[in-house]
Amino acid sequence: MSLLDGVSSSVNAVRPGRTRMRGFDLPLVVVAIALLLFGLLMVYSASIALADGPRYASYGRYYFVIRHGMFLLIGLVAGALVLTVTMQSWQRLSVPLFIGSILLLVAVLIPGIGREVNGAYRWLPLGPLNFQPSELMKFAIVLFAADYTVRKQEHMQNIVRGFVPMALVIALVGMLLLLEPDLGAFIVVVAIAVGILFLGGIDGRLFSALVAVMVSLFFALIWLAPWRRARLFAYLDPWNPDNAYGSAYQLSHSLIALGRGEWLGVGLGASVEKLHYLPEAHTDFIVAVIGEELGFVGVFLVIAGFVIVLQRGFEIGRQAIAMDRTFSGLAALGVSLWFGVQAFINMGVCLGLLPTKGLTLPLVSYGGSGLVMNICAIALMIRVDIENRILMRGGRT
């Protein structure tokens, strides 16, 4: 018996032979596993040459793929634990988990506690590993926003009781993330919270006002920060020599990699740009390596994989809401928004559609806490689906 079937049967005993409905969403599970395994392969391909450079000379050729595999196993264990917790329990844990995430975001800013890398304080050192609280916040905001929407359902049309409290929460989280600074995580967290509020039935005028404020704040943050403003102008003209050797260096080499790949790619492992030309090839710009080695076909298949994950997530959320399980439905929709927004930004940056921003590709890019929380998010979505299917069988969760 598989883990998913075991979880679904342990929640509620269903008479054998009563239905042939599968206990979990097979397309979602298969595609998620495929993306994880493909990510492991591409992290190996993109990082194997890093040891030849002075920066990673002491790491060894297999350093990154071994660590990625280790985090993948940790994520699978954590995901299995997420599967065992009922959505009713997750709703009770949503506020404590959110408060804990806030405290971790504060802790990472305290000198001597948070770890500084290139001027950014985003990590908490845990022995040989580093934990990134902003990744936990993405998971926490999904649960908190879903619970908030359910609790405030009758006040969602009221600006004082429905809109203002959540706006203040978003502002607090945004302030902490921008102090790190981590504009990418800020964008994803805001998109999750605002998206769940919209799907939960917030007044259209309030939603429009919130979006307008967020967009204005986003552009203000870019304009007021010289390095962000430089990235924006470089993105508009990446081939200008001043930009190509400066703020648009990553973008220009990403576009070169994608151009070399053409339709079918130069072959797995044959990328030239990963040979110390394209920085962060195994993390933020892994799509460029995929495009160079596997071509348009490889990038298209990755996009198709995410489309399937999002489609199944929205369908699972719709089913849950149709069965009056609003919190569960909004949580599944929130995870879909998370993956959709982050994948869109990552791919958009690599393809030159968006200004350069440091965000990994969910389930695929090299990462520690990000990969673990991605797997936990998929597990949460699967949990919602399992409970949906139990109810459709006539059981109880």
Q: Could you report the per-residue pLDDT of 91-135, keeping only the tens digit for each?
A: 999 999 999 999 999 999 998 898 887 778 889 998 878 899 999
Residue in the block written with tokens 């990154």 = 64
Query: Does the pLDDT of residue 369 top 80, yes or no?
Result: yes
Q: Residue 15: pLDDT band by 50, 70, 90 thresholds?
A: very low
Rounded to the nearest 10 degrees, how much is the dihedral formed by the CA atoms of 220, 224, 226, 232? 10
Distance set, CA 276 to CA 234, 242, 279 (Å): 21, 20, 7
Where is the domain boundary, 231, 256, 274? 231
How confident is the model at residue 397, as a pLDDT? 72
pLDDT > 90? residue 358: no
User: 198: domain range?
Assistant: 94-231
Where is pLDDT greater, at 191 or 247?
A: 191
Averaged pLDDT for residues 340-358: 92
Q: State residue 16's pLDDT score.
A: 45
Q: Does residue 289 sit within a domain?
A: yes
Does residue 351 carry a pLDDT above 60?
yes
Has residue 235 got a pLDDT over 80? no
Within this chain, do residues 79 and 155 fall inside the same structural domain, yes or no? Answer: no
Q: What's the chain's length in residues?
A: 397
Query: For residue 364, is it within any domain?
Result: yes
Does 192 lie in the same domain as 79?
no
Instruction: Based on the fold, state whether residues 392 and 252 are members of the same structural domain.
Output: yes
The two structure tokens encoding residue 103: 């405290």
pLDDT for residue 4: 52
pLDDT at 157: 78
Q: What number is the average pLDDT over the span 368-389?
A: 97
- Which pLDDT score, from 0 to 100, does residue 100 have? 97
Residue 226 scores a pLDDT above 80: no
**How confident is the model at residue 371, as a pLDDT?**
97
129-131 vs 115-117, strand pairing mode: unpaired
Task: Please tell me the predicted confidence (pLDDT) of residue 237.
Answer: 84
Domain-embedded: residue 330: yes
Mean pLDDT of the chain: 89
Q: pTM value?
A: 0.92
How far apart, in whole angstroms, are the C-alpha atoms of residue 249 and residue 239? 9
pLDDT at 71 over 60: yes
| Residue among 112, 98, 113 nearest 196 (CA) | 98
- Asked if 309 and 224 sit in the same domain, the reply is no
Total structural domains within the chain: 2
- Residue 292 and residue 186 in one domain: no
Which range is least confidently modeled, 19-28, 51-60, 200-209, 307-316?
Answer: 200-209
- Residue 22: inside a domain, yes or no? no
Same domain as 381, residue 282: yes
Q: What was the pLDDT predicted at 6?
A: 53
Final residue belonging to a domain, choices 171, 206, 231: 231
Q: What is the pLDDT of residue 140?
A: 98
Q: What is the mean pLDDT of residues 198-212?
A: 79
**Looking at 137-141, 200-204, 344-348, which range is the least confident one?**
200-204
